[in-house]
Chain A
Amino acid sequence: MTFWQSRYNPQLKLSQQDLIDISKEITQAYAPDGSHMQSELVLMPVDPVTLHAYWNIKNNTISNLGAQLIMRVYSDPTLSEHPSSLKLSFDIKLSSFQGQQTVSVPIAATAYSAVIGEINADNSFSALVTSEIIHVPRETPVTISDAVPVIDSESANIAADNTHVIWQEAMPEHSINNSEQPTQEIPMFDDLFVTEINNAPDIIHVQRENAAFELNNNSVRNQYTSTNNVTVPETEPFILKNFNNQGYDLKVYANSSDSEFANILAKQESGFYISPKKPNITKLNSSGLGLYL
C-alpha cells in the first residue's frame, strides 16, 4: 500500500484511500452551489457585439415579489473608445432572481453598464442592483472615419413610399428615477452607423412590422412621410422596435440637430436593420492535447 505525506508535515502519513475519502467528504460538504452569493449583477464582454450577464438578487432586497424584473442595459459614450453623443438603452425581461444570460449589444467598441430593477405599478423603475461598467472590443480597425464621421447622403435618401412608421400608443416609459442618462450636446458619431454606410456590413431585411421605429413622446405625434421633414424631440428616445431581431426595443437618445441622426432614421425607415457584424474568424487551435479542430 502506498502512503503519502505532505511536504509540510512529513510525520503525518495518508494512504491512497485516505486521500480519496477526505476528498469525497470535502466535495460533498463544500461543493459550491451559489447559495451564498451576495446580490450582484456582473457583466462580462464576450465579443464586440455580445456581453454576458449574471445576477443574483437576494429576496430581502425585493420590494414587490409580483413586480416584473427588468435588466436595463445602457451604453456610455463618454467612456467608449470614440466620441459620441448617441446613447442607447434597452430592457430585457428577467424571469428569475438568479441567472445568467447572453446579451447582444448594438455597437462595438463601447462601454456598457446595466441595472436590474422592478417596474412598479406606476411604471416607475426601482433599481435593485447595478453592474460595473465594461467595454466590448472593436470589431474593425480604426480608420480615418473614426475621427470624422462621413455619411453618404445618397444612401440616406429613400423614396417617400418606402417610409413607414408605426406609432405605438402611450408607450410606458420614463419615471426612470435613478439611472437614466442625460443627453449630451456632443457632435454625434457612432460606429454602428458609420460602419453600415462606409463599410457595407451585413444588412438584414426585416418585416415591416418589425422594422418600425418609434418616437417615445406622447405630445409629439409626427408620422414621418419623408426623410426631409423628420422632426426629433430633444430629449426623448427614439425606439427601434425589436432591434435587430434581438427581442428588445432599442432606445436611442440623440439630438435632433444632428443631421446624421436623420440619416439614421431614414435608413431605419427604408427597411434595413443594422446587423452588428460577427467576426468571421475560424481559429484552428487546441488547448493542450484537447482538440485540433
Chain B
Amino acid sequence: MAMQRGFLSIVLHAHLPFVRHPEYDKFFEEIWLFEAMTECYIPLIRSLEQLHQDGVNYRLTLSLSPPLISMLSNELLQSRYIAHLNKQIELTEKEIIRTAGNPEYQRLARLYRRLYLDTLDIFSHQYDCNLLTAFKKFNALGHLELITCAATHGFLPLLNKNEAAVRNQINTGIETFISHFGFAPEGFWLPECGYYPSLEKHLKTAGINYFFVDTHGIENASESPRNGVYAPLNCGNEVMAFARDPESSRQVWSSTEGYPGDYDYREYYSDIGFELELDYIAPYILDGHTRINTGIKYHRITGKNLPKEIYQPKQALYKAQLHAQDFINKRQLQIDRLSIDMDRPPMIVAPYDAELFGHWWYEGAQWLECVLRLADSDTNAIQTISCADYLKQVVTPHQVATPSASTWGDQGYSSFWINESNNWIYPLLHKAAADLEKLVLALQSSKVNPLQERALNQAVRSLLLAQASDWPFIMKTGTTVEYAKKRITDHLARFNYLLDSIKTNTINERSLSALEVLDDVFPEIDFRSFH
C-alpha cells in the first residue's frame, strides 16, 4: 500500500508559575525557571537553530504562558539567571577536579561545563538575555507558530462560577502575548486542557481560532466525531477544537512504556546534590544545608533495582535517534490506517509539556530535533504543520459539535485541581472574583484618581496570581505545599487589602508601591476590563 499523506502537529506547552521574589537576594523556587531555561528552553532553541541551519523544513507550535513570557522578559530574573549559570559553571569546574581519578566521570563533568558555557553564550550573547527574542526569530522564519494561554494558567472549569474571571484570564493572557510579540495568537492553550461547553464563546470574542482538548473531549462530543480525533470539531462558532492523539501521547508521556524510560537515558533522580558530601556541595544547594537537584547527573537509568551505571551521552543520543525513527514510522502507519476511513488527510496532534523535554527527559530536545528532521525526509508522507496552517489548507467544512468537558489531567477531568488537599481555595477565589466584578461595575461610570486606578489594577493582578492552577496542583502532588498555600494566601490578602483601602478611601501609596514591586506582572492591565 502506498504511503498516505497526513499531518503531524507537535505542540509544546511551556509554562511555569510566576515566581519572582525581589524581597530576597535569592529565592529557592526561582530555580524552577532557571532549570527550565537551562534544560528545556535553551536546548530547544539550540535544536531549532540547528534545524534552520541545516535547511530542514519543519513546523512546530509553542505555547508560551503569560507568566513564563513575563519571567523570561524580566530583568531581575535575567540577571539572577546569569548568576545561577556562573554558579553552575563553578560547580562543574570543581567537579572536573574532584573526578580527576575517574576519567568517565570527569568526561561528563567537562561536558556539563561546556554545556553551561554554551548556554550562557546563547542566553547572554546570542539573545541578549531574553529568550523571547529567539522564539520571535523562529516564528519570523516560519518554523514556529506561537500561541499562548490564560493569564496565570487559571484552571478555567473551576473559575467559571464567575464568567468575568474566565474572560479576564483569557483576555489578559492574549494581551500579554500581543504586548511582547506584536501580533495576536491564532490558537489558545487551555490550561491543563481544561474545557467546558460554552468556553468557546469567550475564545471567539477574544479572536481565537482554535484550541486543544484531550482525546475524550472530542470522543465524547455532543455528536460522534466522524473522523475520530484526527480532524477538528467546529464548536458551532467557527472556533475549532483539536484533540490530543492518544497513541503519540503515550509513546512519549508514559514513564513505563514511553521512550523516556529507556535504560540508556540519563537518570533524573541521580544527582550530586543528593549524593556528595554536604560540606562539598553546600554552596550549591538550598541555604547550604537542604539538598536539592543541581543538574549534574552522572548516571543512566540502567534498569530496575540495578546499581546505576555511568551515563554514556553518545549511546543516549543513538537511542534518541532510534526512538525518533520509531515515532515517525508509527505515525506513518497510523496515517495509512486512518486514511482508509477519512474524507481528509488525518491530522495527528501531539501536545506535550515543553518542560518534559530536557528536564525530565534529558534527551528530549534531541529526540524532537530528530523527529522534525525525519518528518522532512522523503521516507514518509508526513507533513509537520501547525493547527492554523491546517485550517488554512484543509478547506473542507469541519463537523459541527460541542466537545465534552474534559482536561488532560489525571482521570481526565477536574479532580486533580479540586479534592481534599486544595478545595478550600475555591470559595475564596470565587468570592474575590465576585467582589471585584461588583466593584468594577459600580465604578464603570465613575472617575477614579490615579492612585485608585493603580490600586484597582493591582487588585486584578493579585486575583490573577491567586488563580494560578499551579497552586492547587502543587497541593495535590505534595511537593512544595507550604509555598503554594502561602502564595494563595498572600495574593488573596493583598487583594482584600486593596479592595478594602479602595472602598474606604485609605490607599497607602507606600504599601501599594510595595505590592506593585512584589507582584510586578501585567503592567498594562486595566481593571475596567474585568466584567
Contact = CB atoms under 8 A, between A and B. Distances in A.
Contact of A14 (B158, B430, B510, B523): B510
Nearest to A16: B23
Interface centre among A44, A102, A285 (most CB of B within 10 A): A285
A121 interface: no
B409 A285 contact: yes
A138 interface: yes
Interface in B284-314: none
Interface string B7-46: 0000000011100001111000000100110000000000
B477 interface: yes
B210 to A, nearest CB: 21
Contact of B412 (A6, A9, A31, A279): A279
- Chain B residues touching A, range: 35 or more
Contact of A279 (B196, B353, B411, B511): B411
A139 B356 contact: no
Interface string A236-277: 000000000000000000000000000000000000000000
A37 B431 contact: yes
Given A30-B494, A81-B222, A283-B410, A19 B470 contact: no
B489 interface: yes
B489 A31 contact: yes
A135 B356 contact: no
B224 interface: yes
A141 to B, nearest CB: 5
Contacts of B222: 81, 142
Interface string A132-143: 000111111111
Nearest to A280: B411
Contact of A12 (B192, B196, B510): B510
B121 interface: no
Interface in B66-98: none
A6 B418 contact: no
Contacts of B509: 9, 12
B355 A44 contact: no
Given A47-B414, A137-B404, A283-B409, A8 B516 contact: yes
B220 A140 contact: yes
B224 A286 contact: no
B31 to A, nearest CB: 9
B496 A32 contact: yes
17 contacts: A16-B23, A18-B514, A20-B24, A42-B427, A45-B405, A47-B412, A52-B426, A100-B423, A100-B424, A102-B419, A137-B220, A141-B221, A142-B221, A142-B223, A285-B253, A286-B355, A291-B479
Interface of B: 15-17, 22-25, 32, 35-36, 157-158, 161, 192, 196-197, 214, 216, 219-224, 253-255, 258, 268, 353, 355-356, 359-360, 404-406, 408-415, 418-419, 423-424, 426-428, 430-432, 454, 469-470, 473-474, 477, 479, 489-490, 492-494, 496-497, 500, 509-518, 520, 523
